[in-house]
Amino acid sequence: MRNPLADKVADIPFSGIRKFFDIVSEMPDAISLGVGEPDFDTPWHIRDEGIYSLEKGRTFYTSNAGLKELKMEVANYLKRRQGLEYDYNKEILITVGGSEAIDIGMRVMLNPGEEVLVPQPSYVSYEPCVRLAGGVPVIINLKEENEFRLTAQELLDAITDKTKILVLPFPNNPTGAILEEKDLQEIAKVCVDKDIFVMSDEIYAELTYKEKHISIAQMPGMQERTILINGFSKAYAMTGWRLGYACGPADIIEQMLKVHQYAIMCAPTTSQYAAVEALKNGDEDVREMREAYNQRRRYLVHAFREMGLECFEPFGAFYIFPSIQEFGMSSDEFATRLLMEEKVAVVPGTAFGACGEGFLRISYAYSLENLKVAIGRIRNFIERLRKEKQ
Amino acid sequence: MREQLLRIIEKNSRIDLKELAVILGVEEAAIIEELQKCEQEGVICGYHTMIDWDKVGVEKVSALIEVRVTPQRGQGFDKIAERIYKYPEVNAVYLISGGYDLLVSLEGKTLREVSSFVSDKLSTLETVISTATHFILKKYKDHGTILEKKYEDTREKVTP
């Protein structure tokens, strides 16, 4: 039989997270700090709207681009939070999570051989999505000394005459880094100068602990060259509902709608009704969850510094990214031993790009009680390692 | 900081002060000072413990009693409320809008004890017009805490 697989697909490696997932699944008493989703249940009033829509028999497709009411609420939200104006009719597409928006955005914009700049460490799907769309991912290795922000110089250095898109994954998973106004201004200038589009993945926009989140689309000349991606998973604890959206110039959104229509039809109807409620009446829930994350963040940063592990203060998402370079082990080795010896699961930084070597992603989407137990075990582990070294 | 501090200790009054300082990002001394102020100002009225007495095997009967009263000239409902809340078996007294005036939450050892309190003490008060006693059969949620269900983490253990 001949090879049933396409090289383009077969050549893409599985995520580095899988190995840990497999081990942890067999270890019932392991504590995991390896999760990339909120620990909160979706607020009840939002779930209730989903249930109510089912009771009313809202079980059909919605229009391809999504419920009109939801698109209008998304437009309201972006106006309210970011001061951005989008035409709900032509510039907003409701997708199956932010993930779908990333995928179809790449497919719509890339011709074979065109380059996409992907700053790493970052979420695992950008690079594969670029490849599957026929583009060429060009990795920008972010540096700890810059608190894993993207600098204008790093961007300039990576641009070639084939560069078409910059992926801007901030607030960042896995580092927790954010970009502030000054960073964005400088990046925007380069993008406008060099005529580069930006795919801005702002799924963690509501989870920042310093200033309010700012989008690159707010910078002069940028809205017309930015695909803003966001969704309901992180802000409203709605990961399983699979709902996100893309906003951008009408000509790009129109083509994304075409691919979405052929590939997906429409995002889940129940989720869309629930999401309308989330945007209308969910601000207080978001505020409360943000405050809870912030308390855990302070606790973890403090705990890691007390242990003497280097860790820059992350101001976004729900991850911290401490360095384990002092132990002279790879991230993978450290994480494997931590899991085997102390039964704590974390994700090695390398799962998010080669430059994550020497770091761990630690999620604080867990209760403080849970974090305390885990920190106790991590402390035992590193004390043992330090003794071994002596 | 006060609101955040109060929100936390409302759920967990036994939290360690050092930990409070860390998670709120302030000095421990500032926490101690703020707590003292809250106590002095009567913002913090006490530190109680939530106990599910059913699990201890101690028999307890709780009831909610609707009370209709005649308000008294110059004193409104306050005087009668005071006469009621002074009984130690009374847990809570609220002035209520709607079909009746006072809602009294009561705890006793037995059904008989609660009913005799109502018939002997409460209904015989001069200004009480009528009472309606509702015995609590089961508590599902109290003080914002769900009593039966334990939190279970059903997420996949490692995800990107």
**So where are chain A's domains?**
7-42+284-382, 56-281
Comparing alpha-carbon positions, the chain B residue that sits nearest to A350 is B160
Is residue A219 classed as helix, strand or coil in its secondary structure?
Answer: coil
Q: Does B23 touch chain A (CB under 8 A)?
A: yes
Check CB contact under 8 Å for B158 and A347.
yes
Of the pLDDT bands very low, low, confident and very high (cuts 50, 70, 90), residue A95 is very high
Confidence (pLDDT) at A389: 81
Q: What is the mean pLDDT of chain A?
A: 97
Q: Which of B64, B110, B111, B105 is nearest to B87 (CA)?
A: B105
Residue B145 lies in a domain: no
Confidence (pLDDT) at A210: 95
- What is the 8-class DSSP label of residue A169? -
Comparing alpha-carbon positions, the chain A residue that sits nearest to B152 is A39
Distance CA B68, CA B132 (A): 9
Residue B160 lies in a domain: no
CB atoms within 10 A of CB A184: 22
CB-based burial label for A182 (10 Å; 0-12, 13-18, 19+) = exposed
Q: What are the C-alpha distances in Å from B58 to residues B53, B92, B116, B134, B143? A: 6, 21, 20, 20, 20
Confidence (pLDDT) at B110: 92
Q: Are residues B35 and B96 in the same domain?
A: no
Comparing alpha-carbon positions, the chain B residue that sits nearest to A237 is B155
Q: Does B95 touch chain A (CB under 8 A)?
A: no
ipTM over 0.90: no
Comparing alpha-carbon positions, the chain A residue that sits nearest to B156 is A35
- Intra-chain end-to-end CA distance of chain B, in Å: 34
- Residue among A35, A291, A368 whose CB faces B158 most closely: A35
- Residue among B7, B24, B157 whose CB faces A35 most closely: B157
Check CB contact under 8 Å for A39 and B153.
yes
What is the span of the domain harbouring residue B116? 53-138
A·B CB contacts under 8 A: 56
**Residues 6 or more apart whose Cβ sits within 8 Å of residue A333:** none
Check CB contact under 8 Å for A368 and B23.
yes
Element housing B78 (H / E): helix B78-85
Check CB contact under 8 Å for A295 and B8.
yes
- Determine how β-strand A344-345 pairs with β-strand A136-141: unpaired
Q: Which of A128, A138, A130, A127 is nearest to A110 (CA)?
A: A130
Comparing alpha-carbon positions, the chain B residue that sits nearest to A294 is B23
Residues of A in contact with B4 (CB under 8 A): 291
Is A367 in contact with A39 (CB distance < 8 Å)?
A: yes
The yes-or-no verdict on residue A116 having pLDDT over 80 is yes
The domain that holds B79 is classified in CATH as 3.30.70.920
Q: Does A35 touch chain B (CB under 8 A)?
A: yes
Could you name the CATH architecture of A7-42+284-382? Alpha-Beta Complex (3.90)
Comparing alpha-carbon positions, the chain A residue that sits nearest to B18 is A299
Element housing B90 (H / E): strand B90-95
Residue B8 lies in a domain: yes
Check CB contact under 8 Å for B157 and A17.
no
Structural domains of chain B, count: 2
Distance CA A340, CA A23 (A): 9
Residue B89 lies in a domain: yes
Comparing alpha-carbon positions, the chain B residue that sits nearest to A38 is B155
Residue B148 lies in a domain: no
Residues of A in contact with B160 (CB under 8 A): 15, 17, 36, 123-125, 173, 347, 351-352
Confidence (pLDDT) at B84: 95
Indicate the pTM of the whole model. 0.93
- DSSP assignment of A268-319: -HHHHHHHHHHHHH-HHHHHHHHHHHHHHHHHHHHHHHHTT-------BTTE
Cis before A38? omega within 30: no
Number of alpha carbons in the 13 Å side-chain half-sphere of residue A235: 26
Is residue A199 classed as helix, strand or coil in its secondary structure?
Answer: strand
Taking residues A226-245, report their average pLDDT: 98
Confidence (pLDDT) at A378: 98
Taking residues A58-76, report their average pLDDT: 98
Residues of A in contact with B159 (CB under 8 A): 17, 21, 34-37
Q: Does A375 touch chain B (CB under 8 A)?
A: no
Q: At what angle do helices B2-11 and B28-40 cross, to 10 degrees?
A: 80
- Residue among B7, B23, B151 whose CB faces A299 most closely: B23
Residue B20 lies in a domain: yes
Q: What kind of fold does domain A56-281 have according to CATH?
A: Aspartate Aminotransferase; domain 2 (3.40.640)
User: Which residue type is seen at A31?
Assistant: I
Q: How far is B153 from chain A (nearest CA, A)?
A: 8
Q: What are the C-alpha distances in Å from B49 to residues B12, B13, B121, B143? A: 9, 9, 29, 11
Q: Which of A202, A266, A233 is nearest to A71 (CA)?
A: A266
User: Could you read off the pLDDT tens digit of each residue along chain B, which spans 160 residues?
Assistant: 899 999 999 989 999 999 999 999 999 999 999 999 999 999 999 999 988 888 898 888 999 999 999 988 888 899 999 999 999 999 999 999 999 999 999 999 999 999 999 999 999 998 999 999 999 998 888 888 888 777 789 999 999 9
The yes-or-no verdict on residue A19 having pLDDT over 90 is no
User: Of how many residues is chain B composed?
Assistant: 160
Taking residues A87-110, report their average pLDDT: 98
Confidence (pLDDT) at B76: 86
Q: Which structure tokens are listed for A190?
A: 């380069």
Q: Are residues B60 and B26 in the same domain?
A: no
Comparing alpha-carbon positions, the chain B residue that sits nearest to A31 is B157
Chain segment A310-320, per-residue pLDDT in tens: 899 999 999 99
Residues of A in contact with B7 (CB under 8 A): 291
Q: How far is A358 from chain B (nearest CA, A)?
A: 18
CB atoms within 10 A of CB B29: 10
Q: Are residues B29 and B60 in the same domain?
A: no
- Residue among A123, A296, A345 whose CB faces B160 most closely: A123
B 101-160 residues with CB below 8 A of A?
Answer: 151, 153, 155-160
Q: Which long-range contacts (CB under 8 A, 24 or more apart) does B7-16 make?
A: B7/A291, B8/A295, B9/B35, B9/B44, B11/B144, B13/B47, B13/B48
Return the residue in A23, A31, A35 with the most chain B beta carbons within 10 A, the one to mutate for interface testing: A35
Taking residues A36-53, report their average pLDDT: 97
Check CB contact under 8 Å for A345 and B157.
yes
Q: Are residues B9 and B58 in the same domain?
A: no
Residue B101 lies in a domain: yes
Residue B70 lies in a domain: yes
Confidence (pLDDT) at B57: 87
Q: Are residues B32 and B108 in the same domain?
A: no
Check CB contact under 8 Å for A35 and B23.
no
